[in-house]
């Protein structure tokens, strides 16, 4: 097909896909092409602007490594990650809501027994976390796999420290027979997403800050239940209403309670102030 112009190019591209056998791929690509072309027409995209976009995506790819996923940051900050999460995780009322996965999850994190200190030397004030994992029917979920990870008080995850390959403030635990879980870690603090790359420059150009409110990450898996990927956010954080990645849900906000030195929940004697966090998770049963 020759002599295509701005009015005929879209249908010509779609016609090239006539032999596609994957119907879902056809649906996605057809919509993608139509929306991309409509966007270019709507804003009257110039060649200079198009090249700038290509450079931005190229830079994003160059920054991305095994420990830094700039494309996830891009998706997060444009709200796409949370949109997909919300679409894919519609649940009955009462179930714990899902939120974004984030770019710093690590598969096969160290396993700890209940009550262990998963901070493993990470900088931060001590915090004791406790709660129960239950189904929507209120029944306890024993042996649920809880993966937990968080940033330290300087705002960095363990994988962001190039000089160390030791995991800190990260671990995997399993709920007890009554669905109970508990562990020691450090207090969650707000932190900026990595903003020294193309996504950071984008946020600056848009007049946006890179900060996330304080939170703990959880991924919870149990037989017979849908996997839950979520955060628990710290009540009172000034970034709760302007999270850089749009992940906050009111039902996921909880109180970190400050205690004076004394007996901790695990009966150890704390010589410094410490915090406690109590939060229960309600899982959605797998249908069918």
User: What are the residue numbers of the active site?
Assistant: 157, 191, 212, 215, 217
Cα–Cα separations (whole angstroms), residue 204 to 86, 200, 244, 281: 27, 6, 12, 36
Q: What are the E-state strand segments in 93-179?
A: 126-135, 145-149, 170-174
Angle at 173 between CA 286 and CA 243, to 5 degrees: 75
- By the 10 Å C-beta count (0-12 exposed, 13-18 middle, 19+ buried), 59 is classed as middle
114 close to 181: Cβ distance less than 8 angstroms? yes
Tell me which residue of 229, 226, 254 sits closest to 240, measured CA to CA.
254
State the virtual CA torsion across 140, 230, 226, 75 in degrees, nearest 10: 180
Cα–Cα separations (whole angstroms), residue 282 to 85, 135, 218, 245: 17, 5, 13, 24
CA distance 233 to 2: 56
Q: Which helix (H) or strand (E) holds 119?
A: none
Helices 198-205 and 70-77: angle between axes, nearest 10 degrees:
20
From CA 233, how far away is CA 245, in angstroms rounded? 13
d(CA 194, CA 70): 9
Buried b (16+ CB within 10 A) or exposed e, 73-108: bbbbbeeebbeebbeebeeeeebbbbbbbbbbbeee
């Amino acid at each position: 097909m020759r002599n295509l112009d701005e009015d005929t190019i879209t249908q010509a591209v779609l016609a090239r896909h006539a032999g596609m056998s994957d119907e879902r791929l056809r649906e996605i690509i057809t919509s993608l092409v139509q929306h991309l072309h409509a966007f270019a027409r709507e804003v009257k995209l110039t060649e200079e602007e198009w090249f700038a976009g290509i450079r931005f995506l190229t830079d994003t790819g160059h920054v991305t490594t095994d420990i830094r996923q700039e494309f996830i940051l891009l998706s997060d900050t444009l709200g796409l990650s949370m949109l997909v999460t919300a679409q894919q995780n519609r649940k009955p009322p009462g179930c714990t809501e899902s939120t974004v996965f984030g770019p710093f999850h690590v598969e096969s994190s160290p396993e700890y027994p209940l009550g262990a200190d998963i901070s493993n030397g990470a900088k931060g004030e001590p915090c004791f976390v406790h709660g129960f994992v239950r189904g929507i029917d209120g029944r306890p979920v024993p042996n649920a796999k809880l993966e937990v990870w968080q940033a330290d008080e300087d705002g960095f995850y363990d994988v962001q420290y190039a000089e160390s390959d030791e995991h800190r403030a990260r671990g995997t635990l399993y709920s007890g027979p009554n669905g109970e879980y508990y562990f020691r870690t450090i207090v969650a603090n707000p932190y900026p997403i990595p903003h020294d790359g193309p996504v950071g420059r984008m946020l600056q150009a848009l007049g946006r800050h890179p900060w996330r409110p304080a939170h703990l990450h959880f991924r919870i898996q149990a037989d017979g239940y849908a996997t839950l990927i979520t955060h628990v956010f710290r009540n009172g954080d000034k970034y709760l209403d302007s999270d850089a990645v749009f992940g906050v849900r009111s039902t996921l906000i909880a109180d970190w309670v400050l205690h004076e030195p004394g007996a901790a929940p695990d009966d150890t004697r704390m010589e410094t102030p410490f915090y406690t966090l109590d939060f229960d998770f309600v899982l959605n049963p797998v249908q069918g």
